[in-house]
Each structure stands twice: as C-alpha cells, then as structure tokens.
Amino acid sequence: MKNYWIRIVACLFLMAPLFVAAQSVVRGFVYEDVNQNNRKDRREQGVSGVAVSNGLEVVQTNAEGAYELPASDDQIIFVIKPAGYQLPVNEFNLPQFYTIHKPEGSPDLKYKGSEPTGKLPRSVDFALLPSEEKTDFQMLVFGDPQPYTQQEIDFFAQGIVSELEQVQGVDLGLSLGDLVGDDLNLFDPYKRAVAAIGIPWFNVMGNHDMNYDGEADHLTDETFETHFGPANYAFNHGQVHFIVLDDILYPDPRDSRGYWGGFREDQLRFVENDLQFVPKDHLVVLAFHIPISEPDGDAFRDEDRNRLFELLKDYPHTLSMSAHTHLQRQDFMTAEHGWLQEQPHYHYNAGTTSGDWYSGRLNEQGVPISTMRDGTPKGYALLSFSGNEYKLRYQVAGQSPDYQFEIFAPKVLEQNKRTSAGIVVNFFMGSERDTVYCRIDDGEWKRMSYMNDYDPAYLHLLHEWDFTEELLDGRRPSNPKASTHLWRTGIPNNLDVGDHTIEVKVTDQFGQTFTQSSSYRIEAP
C-alpha cells in the first residue's frame, strides 16, 4: 500500500507542469450571436479569420471561429472587431469586446480597479452581431471632456451632449482621453452623459484618467480598464482599421516626476502583431491622447514615434489623432519627424469639448463659453469616411454647421484716415495648406496672408475680465496661446460713407469650401 501511494504522488508530481501549462493558455470562440443573449449557443456559428489579442500577441480564428492565445495573470483578452459586424454594448453604449483576467484582482489603489476574476473559464468567447456595415460612414470625435466636478459633468452634458442626443447618420464615437479630471469616481457620471448620444462609444485613456498611485506604468490604467476595457486595442469599421493606444508614460522614465508621451515595448509589439492582419490598402487611424507631433517641444519620446512610423511605412493611408493641448492644430509630419513615406503623415490635434477647461462667461444655457486659448470655440469633430479616404469638419457647440471661422474686424472706421486695423480670420480647422480669400462689397477676391499670432477675438474676450470694475459670472479664461490658423488682410476705408460687406471664402485641405460674411461702417471725419 505504501508503494502505491508513493507511485500516485510521483505521478502527480510529474503531471504538475501539465496543469501549469493548461493555465497558461486561453481558448475560445468568436461567434455570431444570432439571438443576442451574449452566450454561444449550440447552433450559433463561429466566425473565421477574426483577430483576437491578449494585448501583445494577435491571432486569427480558424474555420470554426476558434482561437488560442498565451495567457498570464494580468491581461485583458479582446476581440478585434471585423468589418461587417457590430459589438454588443452595455447600458452606457460601451462596446463589450473584452474579458478581464486578473485572478488576484487589481492592486490596492485610491480608486478601485478590478475585483479578483479567479481562474480562466474553459472557453472565453466573444459575440459579434451581423451588420450591414457600409464603407461610407461618419464618426464623432471628442477631445478632453475633463470635468473635475459634478457641475462640470453637467456643463458637458448641457453644452455638448444635449445637441447630439439620439444623433442620426453617425456610426460611432470616440473620446481622445481626459474623460475626467483626476477624480476617477466621475467615470460613472461621464458614461451616463455620453450614453445619451445613443451610439457605440470608444474611449482613449488620458493623463487625467490614470491611477497616479500605480507603482509602474502598466498599473496606471487599472480603474480605466474596469470601466472601459483595455487601454490598448483595435477594431475595424468599413475599410478603416482603428488602433487606440495609451501614450502616457508614468512615472516619467527620465526623472520619475510627472509623465512623458511615449509607448512601452509591449504596446509597439501589439501594433506590429495587429498590423500583420490589416490589408495595405486600408486606412489606418491611430488615436492617442498626447500629440505625437510635439507642439510644445520635447513632449514625446522620439524613438517611440520612430518605431511606430517604421511599423506604418508600408501603409500609404494613415491618420492619427490626439487631444490634450486644449488647442486645435493640423500637423503634417515628414522625414524631419521620422516619417518614412513621400507623402506627409497628417496628425490632427483636436479641439476639446471642455474648451478652455470650462472657463469664461456663462451663455444662455448657464454653461461656460470656454473658448480655447487659440480662439477655437469649444466643440467636436465630425470625421467622414469613404473607403480609405476621409474628411474632417469641426462643429462649434451650439452653432450652425456653417460657422467654421470667426471674422474679426473694426465696426467703424473714419473715411480716408490711415489705420493699422485689418481683417483677421480664424479658421478653426485651418492650416497653411488652406486658402482664404476676402472681398468687400462683391468686389475682387483677394488672398489673405497666413500668420501665427494671438487671436484678437480671444484677446477681446480675455480683456473684458481685466478691465471690468464689477465681478463677472464664470471664471477668467487662460492666457492666450499663438494660433496656427489665422489669416489677415488690410481693411479699406477709402470707400463711400455707409455700411460695407466683408465676405470671406475658405477652401480647406479636403476641398471643402465655406463662406461667411460680416460688415463694417465708414463715417466721414
């Protein structure tokens, strides 16, 4: 009997590595959830050729829709949605495409992370909903909602979300980070606010969405993951492949103070593994929080941007987007920035839904005007796709779609008196690639000169706070920042006494043309 038990113990000892190996693999199916019960039923078919990832490796499902991936004790397993399908959404319209695997749960942090998930299920399955997905579609892009209080959540809901509730003709939305302002308890009210828009909504992690008490960079997204899923993921829609990345290195590897823009090695490995399944003729859209274009100097680690550009060198159709700066600018990146293609890479640094951090006078809704420091009004972008091509348009909150720029000019001039006054146009989505023309009273169109300067209309708003002798409602705006989308021309005062019309025409890089008009008056000496 004694020898019998010795043999049993020996066998168990030899089999132990097999049990360990079994726990190091995750298996499952990607399937068509015909009855939409979020459970793979016997008659529901698997979907082949769908990419699934553990955040590092990426594999495709076989003919039966099955996949297998290495697994560790701190991972999120997720499906990369293929074109022609939708993802299930929860009550907040957040896509459900992932399974958190943290057997011991998140570390003890100020803001709660994941509860212990225990062992992996025998099969980790992902549901897809068949959809007649078109290659022509629109999406909404939000920069920095960034509320620090419940009142600012209300400002966001009233000033932005209310005009988009149950929006039509838009397939999905994306917030480019700083969903909240350091208080991660505001994730829930943020989700409730955005849910009212009524479309699937994806999210990027920002530097104000982090667990600052995470001991390493990979632990700063624990609360974000609990609410929104992986901070690094991808999905397809139409002929567009989206890659979302957390590009905040915290603590800053240079001095362990603050943060720095960049990527970890595992993130770049994920991008490399993901792109192997993306056709070269598809449009690749990358979304981050911190701009990779370095508008403020050494804000992004150069070698990480260069590695990313190396991975994209064989993809001729690309676009990247960020927020973070509470400005709006268009950057075109060339060999000088490490870009490895002849045509420049376009990086859109988006304006924000919080504008200048909910500052300025209150409007008729009781919501801060919050114009940004470069003169861009708060708002959001509409990104339109046709196959692998795209167009961008900025929508100022609470305004007509035609309001694409602001005309700043004097209201009255003295006839024939020399003046330094001029006409300044702030085209909110503008860059040096655009053309801006002006004419007076149906006269000849004259091209305006591009300039980089403070926006005079913003200075006028700001000076109101400095010259007032009574307290104003709201909060003083931030000091100005040079705008990258201004044009100027002189204003004629050698015309007849009376009212005169200023007409401005803008043609942007996408071939879209916008016109607006204003007026001024000439009086006799």
pLDDT at 42: 87
- Residue 9 falls inside a structural domain: yes
Residue that finishes a domain, picked among 56, 73, 101: 101
Residue 27, in any domain of the structure: yes
Q: Is residue 470 part of a domain?
A: yes
Domain boundaries, position 73 = 2-101
- Of 101, 133, 158, the position where a domain reaches its end is 101
Look at the chain and report how many structural domains it folds into: 2
Mean pLDDT confidence for 64-77: 95
Rounded to two decimals, the pTM is 0.93
CA dihedral 218, 223, 229, 230 (to 10 degrees): -10
CB neighbours of 443 closer than 8 A, spacing ≥ 6?
A: none
> Which residues have CB under 8 Å from 320's CB, separation 6+?
285, 286, 287, 288, 292, 345, 346, 347, 348
**Burial (CB count <10 Å: 0-12, 13-18, 19+), residue 11:** exposed
Mean predicted confidence (pLDDT) in 416-445: 96
Region 195-214: mean pLDDT is: 97
Strand partners, 436: 506
Residue 11 has pLDDT above 90, yes or no: no
pLDDT confidence of residue 13: 42
CATH number, residue 500: 2.60.40.10
Whether residue 516 lies inside any domain: the answer is yes
User: Looking at the domain assignment, is residue 86 inside a domain?
Assistant: yes
Q: Is residue 483 part of a domain?
A: yes
H or E element in which residue 28 lies: strand 25-32
The string of pLDDT tens digits covering residues 82-107 is: 999 999 999 999 999 999 999 999 99
Residue 296 pLDDT: 61
Give domain status of residue 339, yes or no.
no
Query: CB neighbours (10 Å) of residue 420?
Result: 5
Q: What is the residue type of 447?
A: R
Is 483 in contact with 426 (CB distance < 8 Å)?
Answer: yes
Last residue of one domain, picked from the residues 53, 76, 101: 101
Q: Is residue 382 part of a domain?
A: no
Q: Helix %, strand %, coil % for the chain, to 5? A: 20, 30, 50
Mean pLDDT across the stretch 179-201? 98
Instruction: Quote the pLDDT of residue 522.
Output: 97
